[in-house]
Amino acid sequence: MKLELVFIPSPGDGHIRPLVEVAKLLVDRDDHVSVTIIIIPQMHAFSSGNTSSYIASLSTASQDRLRYNVLSGADEPNSGDNKHNLLTYIDSFKPQVKATVEKLAGPSRLAGLVVDMFCTAMIDVANEFGVPSYLFYTSNATFLGLQIHVQYLNDVKKFDVTDLKDSEVTELEVPSLTRPFPVKCFPSVMLNKEWLPILIKQVRRFRETKGILVNTFAELEPQAMKFFSGGDNPLPTVYPVGPILNLKINGSDSTYDEQSEILRWLDEQPRESVVFLCFGSMGGFREEQAKEIATALERSGHRFVWSLRRAQPKGTMGPPGEFTNFEEILPEGFLDRTAKVGKVIGWAPQRAVLSNPAVGGFVSHCGWNSTLESLWFGVPLATWPLYAEQQVNAFELVEELGLAVEIRNFFRSDFMAVESELMTAEEIERGIRSLMEKDSGVRDRVKEMSEKSHVALMDGGSSHVNLLKFIEDVIKNIS
């Protein structure tokens, strides 16, 4: 039987790329499966050149069993408050998605829609066609468990977790973790009375799906997988199929020469001697924070590659900009004093840097894709979460799994702010020194988990088996 699956990622680099990679795995694993990926254009407020060029490359890369369909742009919501726009924007594409699916006439049978965690509105389209829907969850199993638990507390226990914000309760038992979760590490969205109902509505829709593909592997998050397999809180089948990574090492043409220089410099450095600082596609800093980082790096004495980008002005959202002159914002003489031991750059070829043997530690915002890349290459992390669920990721990495050291795992900031409160040079230096210890338990555990991540994707590995199980279940659900 020929099967056609339709994948719908939400617009954004960290969502499109992993979903494309899991689609590639599916068509490689089974000759009977075809996938059409329907790509929603980026919102203006979150658009970046790298994502735009990536989408453009996909639109010309369609093959017989893996096709890409880039939708035309839609009018963005007029609200001046961008935080309300994403879900409304995605919802506005339902007519285009429906029309695209209708055109998929061919020898294959439509077997279902696989929708991104922010595209749950597209479950309605699957229902209209009378086919199952599945969820692709780009974050980790632990955070999925937290979201499900918060929805359970709200709907069943009638407990509003936003009340924790001003209460004396400091911890909450979460079934996807083995230890109590600090209230101070809760994502701001869960403590926001305006947004919590939206999050809960989203999780209710998760439960409507036939299965949830999660970008993790069973060996990394055993407690979360234990929770999902329990019968107390019936859920769709959860398939840990990761790490789903785009390991093709490339970058934008405009920075090619700079990248080549950085990689050549890394090749000349001793093994595991360089600390890499990079904060994702949305991570930028103000001058005041940049100075504290520079001071910490210089005091630490470690070699470094630092991807430094400029934060958006307060009250605005979007990807960070580039500083035009590092000398103007960094401590006087810093670049001269560190010229032989460090490199300050703008956009960084993250995968190429992490894969270099000279890199011994990664100061990261703890975005899940970056976390998986770091573990894949066996590089321990120092946690500096900035927004979204990154505080949960940081707590999991440090306290639950012992795969990272902490710079700071908690902060309170405005909802959806991309920069946290000021980190001092002392905090940062302490974290870097701990990260770069040669004979640490963290380093040993990361090396061990790196090996497990590779095995998970091999034939017979846990994620490989789960992907095959997913294909079997898709066939059962339409037969």
pLDDT in tens, 336-350: 999 999 999 998 999
Residues 206 and 316 in one domain: no
Task: Give exposure, 238-262, as e/b (b: 16+ Cβ within 10 Å).
Answer: bbbbbbbbbeeeebeeebeebbeeb
pLDDT at 61 over 90: no
Claim to verify: residue 240 and residue 298 sit in the same structural domain: no
347 and 235 co-located in one domain: no
pLDDT at 68 over 80: yes
Among 306-310, 396-400, 416-420, 475-479, the range scoring the smallest mean pLDDT is 416-420
pLDDT tens profile 371-410: 999 999 999 999 999 988 999 999 999 999 999 999 988 7
For residue 389, what are the domain limits?
253-453
Domain co-membership, 199 together with 340: no
How confident is the model over 227-252, as pLDDT tens digits? 999 866 678 999 999 999 987 644 44
pLDDT(183) > 50: yes
Same domain, 116 and 210: yes
Q: What is d(CA 98, CA 82) in angstroms, rounded to the nearest whole number?
A: 26
Report the pLDDT value the prediction gives residue 252, as an integer from 0 to 100: 42
Q: Are residues 282 and 295 in the same domain?
A: yes
What residues contact 279, with CB distance under 8 A and at least 6 apart?
285, 307, 309, 364, 365, 384, 386
Average pLDDT of the residues in 32-61: 80
Q: Is residue 432 pLDDT above 60, yes or no?
A: yes
Asked if 26 and 467 touch (Cβ cutoff 8 Å), the reply is yes
Q: Looking at 52-61, 172-181, 388-397, 451-460, which range is the least confident one?
A: 52-61
Tens of pLDDT, residues 84-115? 578 999 999 999 999 999 998 677 799 999 99
Residue 63 is predicted with a pLDDT of 85
CATH (domain of 297) = 3.40.50.2000
Give me the pLDDT at residue 253, please: 37
Number of domains comprising the chain: 2
pTM here is 0.93
* 217 plus 172 within the same structural domain: yes
Integer-rounded Cα Rg, in Å, for the chain is 22
Query: Cα torsion for 428, 430, 433, 436, to the nearest 10°?
Result: -60
